[in-house]
Amino acid sequence: MTSQAPLYPHRHLLGIEGLSHLDIEALLDRAESYVALSRQVEKKTATLRGRTQINLFFEPSTRTQASFELAGKRLGADVMNMSVASSSVKKGETLIDTAATLYAMRPDILVVRHHAAGAVNLLARKVGCSVVNAGDGAHEHPTQALLDALTIRRNKGRIMGLTVAICGDILHSRVARSNIILLNALGAKVRLIAPSTLLPAGIERMGVSVFTDMKKGLQGADIVMMLRLQLERMHGAFVPSSKEYFRYYGLDRAKLDLAADDALVMHPGPMNRGVEISSEVADSAQSLIREQVEIGVAVRMAVLDALSQHLPNG
């Protein structure tokens, strides 16, 4: 089923930056077929049979790691999870050494998450297999942006011309960066909504309009994409309190009503209910939050499939 889809021409997926809109659309098209597959009783294919996928997580994650694990297994790969946050790094082993050690076990695909921007890029230069960036610092989280795009496309039928408001902690968010690049590449109008302390310098030059007043930023938005506010950033460092944050930047019914009538709500998870989003909105019919999780597996299957076509003997 994948043979007629256009070929993804890269060996790694390190970020959305550097991908053409054709690359992106090819991945989304391929992921569509995996959404259907994942809804069948028989969910497995032999695409990655005999291949080894290592999920190398230097930062704890349950959801993304589980999603990649399931994606690899549904494609028939042998999947191993390594959480390095708790093991060798504490013994003083460097990122490069850890990567070299794992690469010596001859994996075909490494899925890597790291707390430092650029770390996955560095690692990809030191190993001979395909590398997927599962999030590097505040830099990029490409599979999240792809799954967000597919979720939007499936619900709105298009991305071109839509107004997407990304709200919350833009400063520390790799999800925001990947989404800004991807949504711009596919012709959406991107708005950012955040207090100024959570906006990176010069972000307005990345093809977005910036709002510090959420009520203005939400006017007529087709998609409202909420970001998680990390606990440690809530208490005085960037915003004074979660109470004040929710008052001005939390998505509740009243604020959502300012967006387009058929606006849809997204969140990359895990949510802080009552901090950035009210339970009422999160669980409403306008919420795509659970669908995002489903699409996530399909998108990751598509990415692994696309990369596998560049593997030796593949």
Partner 1 sequence: MAALTGTDMAEATDIAILDARLVDPATGRDGRGSVLIRDRAITDIVWGAAPALGEGTRRVDGRDLVLAPGLVDLRAFLGEPGAEFRETLGSGSQAAAAGGVTTIVCRPDTDPPIDDPAIIDFIKRRARDKAVVNVLPCAALTKGILGKEITEFGLLLEAGAVAFGDGAKAVRNPQLMRRAMIYARDFDALIMNHVEDPDLRGSGVMNEGEFASRKGLPGIPTEAETVMLERDIRLARATGARYHAAMISCAESVDLVRRAKANGVRITCGVSINNLTLNENDVGEYRTFCKVSPPLRHEDERLAMIAALAEGVIDVVVSDHDPQDVETKRQPFAEAADGALGIETLLPAALRMVHAGQIGLPALLAALSTRPAGLIGLSCGRLAVGAPADLMLLDPDAPHVVDKRLLKSRAKNSPFDEARLEGLVQMTLVAGRVVYEAQRG
140/276 with CB nearer partner 1: 140
User: Does residue 191 bind partner 1 (CB under 8 A)?
Assistant: no
User: Does residue 274 bind partner 1 (CB under 8 A)?
Assistant: no
User: Does residue 119 bind partner 1 (CB under 8 A)?
Assistant: yes
**DSSP-derived 3-state class of residue 56:** strand
Q: Work out which of 114, 153, 191, 255 binds partner 1, going by CB under 8 A.
A: 114
48/192 with CB nearer partner 1: 192
Which H or E run includes 113? strand 109-114
Q: Work out which of 66, 70, 122, 260 binds partner 1, going by CB under 8 A.
A: 122
Q: Give the nearest distance from C-beta 201 to partner 1 in angstroms.
A: 5
Task: Using the structure block, give the residue that is written with the tokens 């597959």.
Answer: 37
* Contact status, residue 187 vs residue 213, Cβ threshold 8 Å: no
Q: Work out which of 9, 50, 60, 118 binds partner 1, going by CB under 8 A.
A: 118
* Contact status, residue 133 vs residue 11, Cβ threshold 8 Å: no
What phi and psi, each to the nearest 5 degrees, are found at residue 265?
Answer: -110, 135
* Contact status, residue 113 vs residue 61, Cβ threshold 8 Å: yes
Rounded CA separation 306/11 (Å): 9
Q: Give the nearest distance from C-beta 131 to partner 1 in angstroms.
A: 14
Which string of x and - marks every residue 171-190 that binds partner 1 (by CB under 8 A)? Answer: ---x--x-------------
Which string of x and - marks every residue 16-55 that binds partner 1 (by CB under 8 A)? Answer: -x--------------------------------------
User: Does residue 117 bind partner 1 (CB under 8 A)?
Assistant: yes
**DSSP-derived 3-state class of residue 112:** strand
User: Does residue 113 bind partner 1 (CB under 8 A)?
Assistant: no
164/199 with CB nearer partner 1: 199
Q: Which of residues 193-252 bind partner 1 (CB under 8 A)?
A: 200-203, 205-206
What are 58-63's contacts with CB under 8 Å, separation 24+? 58/84, 58/85, 58/89, 58/95, 58/112, 58/113, 58/114, 58/115, 58/119, 59/85, 59/113, 59/114, 59/115, 59/135, 60/85, 61/113, 61/134, 61/135, 63/269, 63/270, 63/293
Listed ranges 66-74, 92-100, 242-250, 272-280: which one lies at the site for partner 1 (CB under 8 A): 92-100
Listed ranges 75-83, 90-98, 262-270, 287-295: which one lies at the site for partner 1 (CB under 8 A): 90-98
Q: Give the nearest distance from C-beta 89 to partner 1 in angstroms.
A: 11
Q: Give the nearest distance from C-beta 138 to partner 1 in angstroms.
A: 4
Outline where the chain has alpha helix (H). 21-38, 63-74, 95-103, 119-124, 142-156, 174-185, 214-218, 242-249, 253-256, 279-282, 289-308
Q: Positive or negative, the Cα torsion across 311, 67, 269, 219?
A: positive
Q: Which of residues 128-147 bind partner 1 (CB under 8 A)?
A: 136-140
Count interface residues toward partner 1 (CB under 8 A).
24
* Contact status, residue 142 vs residue 13, Cβ threshold 8 Å: yes
Q: Work out which of 116, 258, 260, 271 binds partner 1, going by CB under 8 A.
A: 116
In 3-state terms the chain splits into helix, strand, coil percentages (rounded to 5) of 40, 15, 45
Q: Which residues bind partner 1 (CB under 8 A)?
A: 17, 94-96, 114, 116-119, 121-122, 136-140, 174, 177, 200-203, 205-206
